[in-house]
């Protein structure tokens, strides 16, 4: 059974994780960087942050991908950065994912799916993130929503939420929200104040208040650190993904 620990950490901390220090998997069709222990990569001190269990930064070569495979009792959010990704699952859902289209798959009692690059002339680059559901053994589900218009207005936009935000896909986890932003050069946003916050720089670079510069692939793990300002690079801007969770996962 899934186990959570509801509490506000007493000690504030910010842990900066650099892109080059992530676990790395490379095979002929896949180049993947893992922010946390995943597959054959395991570090008992790096298994999650709050409720975020998986954050994989994947590049899949043309015409290739993840063949049909199963999942269970997990909320899986996929966010495409470049290219397109084709989803098909055993519940009859299918979709072509592209930048700005939020997608959530609730594995529930069990689901099989594939994720393929349908193109033969370009790779697809995407981030896939997993959080546990707050209710296990529910029926599998699928949802997708284009939020490009919201992103174009600036600031942080709720991509996936268990709290009923507008313009977000719903996840079955009341303790978690994923925010995203395509920050224009020099644009500044306030990172949420939550017990656990994971800031990931998907593109470009940004300055995290009192912590310095974060470049593409870098992450900051905030624990009870309060709201911090994040300012996009003055030349290139930044695309960011920010998870806030009110609970901690206990294995």
Give residue 1's pLDDT.
47
Return per-residue pLDDT of the chain as tens, 251 residues.
455 655 567 689 999 999 999 999 999 999 999 999 999 999 999 999 999 999 999 999 999 999 999 999 999 999 999 999 999 999 999 999 999 999 999 999 999 999 999 999 999 999 999 999 999 999 999 999 999 999 999 999 999 999 988 878 999 999 999 999 999 999 999 999 999 999 999 999 999 999 999 999 999 999 999 999 999 999 999 999 999 999 999 87
- Look up residue 170 and give its two tokens: 């719903």
pLDDT of res. 150: 95
Domain coverage including residue 25: 4-249
Q: Which of 18, 51, 35 is nearest to 197 (CA)?
A: 51
Our count of domains for the chain comes to: 1
**Helix, strand, coil percentages in the chain from 3-state DSSP, rounded to 5:** 5, 55, 45
Helix (H/G/I), strand (E/B), else coil: 226? coil
List the one residue out of 167, 206, 231, 219 whose CA is nearest residue 33.
219
Cross-strand pairs, 127: 57, 79
Whether the model pTM is above 0.85: yes
pLDDT of residue 223: 97
Integer Cα distance of 250 and 53 in angstroms? 11
The CATH code of the domain that includes 175 is: 2.60.120.10
């Amino acid at each position: 059974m899934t186990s959570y620990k509801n509490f506000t950490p007493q000690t504030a901390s910010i842990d900066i994780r650099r892109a080059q220090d992530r676990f790395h998997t490379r095979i002929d069709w896949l180049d993947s960087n893992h922010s946390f222990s995943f597959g054959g990569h395991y570090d008992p001190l790096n298994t999650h942050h709050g409720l975020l269990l998986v954050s994989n930064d994947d590049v899949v070569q043309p015409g290739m991908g993840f063949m049909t495979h199963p999942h269970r009792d997990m909320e899986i959010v996929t966010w495409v950065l470049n290219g397109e990704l084709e989803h098909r699952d055993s519940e009859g859902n299918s979709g072509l994912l592209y930048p700005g289209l939020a997608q959530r798959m609730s594995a529930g009692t069990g689901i099989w799916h594939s994720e393929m690059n349908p193109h033969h002339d370009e790779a697809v680059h995407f981030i896939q993130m997993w959080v546990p559901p707050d209710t296990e053994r529910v029926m599998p589900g699928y949802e997708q929503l284009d939020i490009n218009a919201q992103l174009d207005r600036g600031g942080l936009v709720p991509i996936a939420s268990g709290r009923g935000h507008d313009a977000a896909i719903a996840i079955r986890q009341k303790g978690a929200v994923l925010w995203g932003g395509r920050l224009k050069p020099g644009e500044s946003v306030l990172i949420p104040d939550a017990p656990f916050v994971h800031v990931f720089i998907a593109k470009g670079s940004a300055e995290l208040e009192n912590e310095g510069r974060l470049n593409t692939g870098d992450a900051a793990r905030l624990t009870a650190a309060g709201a911090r300002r994040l300012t996009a690079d003055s030349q290139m801007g930044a695309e960011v993904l920010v998870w806030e969770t009110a609970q901690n996962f206990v294995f």
